[in-house]
Amino acid sequence: MRIYSAPDYYHASRIAANIISAQVIMKPDCVLGLATGSTPIGAYEQLVKWYEKGDLDFKEVRTVNLDEYCGLDETSDQSYRYFMNHHLFDHINIDKANTHVPSGTAADAEQACADYNEVIRSMHGVDLQLLGIGHNGHIGFNEPGEAFDKETHIVTLSDKTRQANARFWDGDLSQVPTHAITMGIKTVMQARKILLVACGEDKAQIMKDAFTGPITPEVPASVLQLHNDVVLVGDEAALQYLL
Ligand code: F6R
């Protein structure tokens, strides 16, 4: 496991964007696994800048996102499809038909999960999976206690996760969806390379638990200790117990 520490969020985001860029340059038709949340926004901003400078070309890139809230579609500004369009896809030359986010509004949710697994398989898997980490160690929306052998599935969001995300609904917990569709841990672990980004003092303890503690479903990100190509990028605050 390689660890890159940066003095602050801006520089951590640049390192993350550099790693994503390297993947796109090395394999222009690569499959990027993408994440939402606050953490990757800086990396996406940087990728857009490099695209605008002419340094990056996304026309052959394909993407699969980790997760989506149940009940929200791209018309909701809190949906992860909206987030991805807004922060990245609308600003680069990617073909939107090559971008995939799980459907949170499919009539048949089980079928939507199976279809998403098939999308990933049809692309021969993910080359580089970008991850954030929840305060409870979740990756994607794989909450503590989830089995490690799951592919895309529907989850009930934990109170901790809903409370953490209520900030996107002006703190109104009642607005935060109760369920989500997420790639499973098995799907994440099948990515050829994993890039996890964490910033801020509030992520320090979970980073310690996940990467120096026991491998347990109670800390979903701890499973990444078993992956043979993981890069951790963060600021010094988040990585303080790992340096
Ligand atoms: C987002 C996702 C989540 C977030 C995690 C951290 O697609 O899958 O696991 O990465 O909740 O969120 P932030 O970055 O907002 O702290």
- Extract the tokens encoding 110: 């089980």
Look at residue 189 in the predicted model and tell me its pLDDT: 98
Rounded Cα gap, residues 231 and 224, in angstroms: 10
Q: Of the residues 36, 78, 232, which should be mutated to test ligand 1's pocket, given the most ligand atoms within 8 Å of the CB?
A: 36
Look at residue 132 in the predicted model and tell me its pLDDT: 98
Sign, CA torsion 187/12/94/78: positive
Look at residue 73 in the predicted model and tell me its pLDDT: 92
CA distances from 23 to 104, 112, 128, 190, 195 (A): 29, 28, 7, 17, 11
Q: Which residues line ligand 1 (CB under 6 A)?
A: 35-39, 66-67, 132-134, 138-141
Look at residue 160 in the predicted model and tell me its pLDDT: 85
- For ligand 1, what atom is nearest to the CA of residue 197? 14
Look at residue 70 in the predicted model and tell me its pLDDT: 96
Sign, CA torsion 172/112/228/5: negative
pTM above 0.95, yes or no: yes
- For ligand 1, what atom is nearest to the CA of residue 138? 9
Low-confidence residues of the chain: pLDDT under 70? none
* Catalytic machinery residues: 67, 136, 138, 143
Strand order in the sheet with 128-131: 2-6, 230-235, 193-198, 128-131, 31-34, 62-65, 99-100
- For ligand 1, what atom is nearest to the CA of residue 142? 9
Look at residue 17 in the predicted model and tell me its pLDDT: 98
